[in-house]
């Protein structure tokens, strides 16, 4: 068993917030700061390893134990439904998952009358579950990005996607119809690592909990 603690971190927009949070409890990786094509970084002194992976792949690395700890959006966890230990809401990466449609359609539309709709999304499982609970049949069109384009070109009338500032919806003539879930980034932990590296992982969880708690209290 390696005596390193390995983190799987998403390459994109939540990487910096993650590293800033870990720095507050003394977990740093100077090697990661320069720009490079490297995918694994080590802090040999404190025995931490960091892997930069696609956001949607973080749960897989943690599930299989290639990483002990991961940071990932709640959207990804809800979509993938993996059995992972999720001890902490990290309180950054705030956005919401919402149903949206073009402004012109919204003006004459009554969502209460939907029975069969076509929806483009990166989140087919969440979308299917959400509409099934309302008794609405959905034809799902799975996309991997630029979801707001779908109604503009007639691929679907509605979308389910993340909304943060609302700028992407606005600039593409769309409005939110309903929020499905509030999203933040979460810490996830491999269940076996929690036992085999109990002391180090517990110390990390307690340190993070304290820092996040303090920040929430200060910002309230
Ligand atoms: N506009 C946004 N504002 C705030 N947080 C966001 C926003 N978009 C996404 N997020 C959060 O950040 C996470 C990572 O998003 P990011 O765009 O970096 O990766 P991605 O492109 O969605 O994933 P992948 O690379 O696997 O396709 C999302 O899962 C979500 O929790
Ligand atoms: O409400 P806003 O602040 O405009 O943010 C929302 C946008 O951000 C995300 O897209 P991203 O930038 O990850 O690009 P993508 O469409 O290629 O996934 C999301 O899918 C929305 O399109």
Beta carbons of 116 and 206 less than 8 angstroms apart = no
pLDDT at 175 over 60: yes
Locate the domains of the chain by residue range: 5-93+184-219, 95-181
CA gap 161, 98 in Å, rounded: 6
Q: Residue 33 has what pLDDT?
A: 78
Ligand 1 atom with the smallest distance to the CA of 74 is: 31
User: Reading across the β-sheet that carries 5-10, which strands appear in turn?
Assistant: 40-43, 48-53, 5-10, 69-73, 185-189, 85-89
Please tell me the distance between residue 136's alpha carbon and the centre of ligand 1 in angstroms: 27
CA–chain centroid gap for 84, Å, is: 14
- Compute φ and ψ for 198, nearest 5 degrees: -55, -50
Mean pLDDT of 118-136: 98
Q: How many CA atoms lie within 13 A of 156 on its CB side?
A: 23
Beta carbons of 177 and 108 less than 8 angstroms apart = no
Best mutation site among 163, 173, 182 for ligand 2 pocket (most ligand atoms within 8 Å of CB):
163
Q: Residue 219 has what pLDDT?
A: 61
Structure tokens belonging to residue 116: 């069969």
pLDDT at 63 over 70: yes
CA gap 163, 47 in Å, rounded: 37
Classify residue 144 by its DSSP letter. S
Q: How many CA atoms lie within 13 A of 15 on its CB side?
A: 16
Please tell me the distance between residue 32's alpha carbon and the centre of ligand 1 in angstroms: 20
pLDDT at 218 over 70: no
Equal fold, 5-93+184-219 vs 95-181: yes
CA dihedral 152, 153, 159, 165 (to 10 degrees): -30
Of 90 and 30, the structure prediction assigns the larger pLDDT to: 90
pLDDT band of residue 93 (cuts 50, 70, 90) is very high
Q: Which protein residues are within 6 Å of ligand 2, measured from CB?
A: 145-148, 161-168
Structure tokens belonging to residue 201: 């992982």
Please, what CATH class does the domain formed by 5-93+184-219 belong to? alpha beta
pLDDT band of residue 121 (cuts 50, 70, 90) is very high
Q: Which protein residues are within 6 Å of ligand 1, measured from CB?
A: 10, 12-14, 54-56, 73, 75-76, 93, 95, 162, 164, 183
Closest CA to 120 of 154, 80, 79: 154
Best mutation site among 152, 161, 174 for ligand 2 pocket (most ligand atoms within 8 Å of CB):
161
CA gap 161, 121 in Å, rounded: 6
Ligand 2 atom with the smallest distance to the CA of 164 is: 1
Query: pTM value?
Result: 0.95
pLDDT band of residue 2 (cuts 50, 70, 90) is confident
* Architecture of the domain defined by 95-181: 3-Layer(aba) Sandwich (3.40)
């Amino acid at each position: 068993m390696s005596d390193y603690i390995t983190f799987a971190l998403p390459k994109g927009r939540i990487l910096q917030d993650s590293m800033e949070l870990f720095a507050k409890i003394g977990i740093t990786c100077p090697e990661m700061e320069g720009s490079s094509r490297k995918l694994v970084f080590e802090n040999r002194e404190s025995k931490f390893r960091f892997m930069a992976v696609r956001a949607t792949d973080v749960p897989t690395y943690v599930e299989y134990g290639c990483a002990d700890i991961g940071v990932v959006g709640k959207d990804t966890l809800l979509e993938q439904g993996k059995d992972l230990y999720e001890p902490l809401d990290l309180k950054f990466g705030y956005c919401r998952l919402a149903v949206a449609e073009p402004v012109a359609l919204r003006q004459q539309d009554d969502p209460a009358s939907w029975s069969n709709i076509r929806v483009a999304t990166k989140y087919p499982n969440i979308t299917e579950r959400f509409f099934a609970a309302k008794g609405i049949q959905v034809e799902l069109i799975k996309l991997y990005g630029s979801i707001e384009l779908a109604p503009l070109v007639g691929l679907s009338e509605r979308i389910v996607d993340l909304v943060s500032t609302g700028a992407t919806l606005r600039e593409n003539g769309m409005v939110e119809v309903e929020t499905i879930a509030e999203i933040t980034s979460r810490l996830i932990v491999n269940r076996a690592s929690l036992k085999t590296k109990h002391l180090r992982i517990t110390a990390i969880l307690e340190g993070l909990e304290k820092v996040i708690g303090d920040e929430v209290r200060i910002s309230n």
